[in-house]
Amino acid sequence: MQNGLPYAVCVSSYNSADAILTNWNGAGGATPLIPGIGPNTRQYPRHIVDDVRAQKAFTIKEGYQLQLLANVFNIANHQNIDGINTTAHLLSSTGALSGTATFQPTYGQITSSNNSGFLYTPRQIEIAARFSF
């Protein structure tokens, strides 16, 4: 188990009427921060990865062995969130040095889960038998 990673609340930037890429303070940037809210102040939900393995070996006679194996990955079938919409406001230009910030209702919505390769996947069960001679 681990705590969720931090993320910043962002706004979308815009081109003002004088064609200069700006944001809240006039500096350029693709995802500027909102004044008064520091970077990495929000947090993703926790991640839980719980795997279990059970195995039993039987000796049939000398030189022959049978192994039974069962692996269960993500046994709790926990949904691990790995993508959240972090854009809280959309900046739009209304003039040379003025604009508005519109709240985005999709802010904080989940965009993807269990999508980071093999580590965070839905529950999987693997059953095997191995015969050694």
Residue 44 maps to a domain: yes
pLDDT in tens, 7-53: 888 777 654 554 444 555 555 554 556 667 777 888 888 888 788 99
Q: Read off φ and ψ for residue 6, nearest 5 degrees.
A: -80, 155
- Domain total for the chain? 1
Instruction: Indicate whether 62 pLDDT > 70.
Output: yes
Residue 45 maps to a domain: yes
pTM: 0.57
Q: What is the pLDDT of residue 132?
A: 93
The fraction of the chain above a pLDDT of 90, given in percent, is 20
Among 18-27, 82-91, 92-101, the minimum mean pLDDT is found in 18-27
Q: What is the pLDDT of residue 125?
A: 92
Furthest C-alpha separation in the chain: 88
Q: What is the pLDDT of residue 2?
A: 82
The one-letter code for the residue type at 26 is G
Domain span holding position 120:
6-132
Residue 78 CB neighbour total at 10 angstroms: 19
Instruction: Indicate whether 65 pLDDT > 80.
Output: yes
Please check whether residue 110 is in contact with residue 72, taking contact to mean a CB–CB distance below 8 angstroms. Answer: no
If we measure between CA atoms, which residue out of 52, 54, 57 comes closest to residue 130?
A: 57
Residue 25 maps to a domain: yes
Task: Decide: helix, strand or coil at residue 84.
Answer: strand
Residue 1 maps to a domain: no
Instruction: Indicate whether 130 pLDDT > 80.
Output: yes
Question: Quick one: how far is CA 98 from the chain centroid?
Answer: 35
Residue 30 maps to a domain: yes
Residue 47 maps to a domain: yes
- Give the C-alpha separation, 83 to 106, whole Å: 13
34: left (phi over 0), alpha (psi -120 to 50) or beta: beta
Residues 6+ apart with CB under 8 A from 15: 21, 22, 93
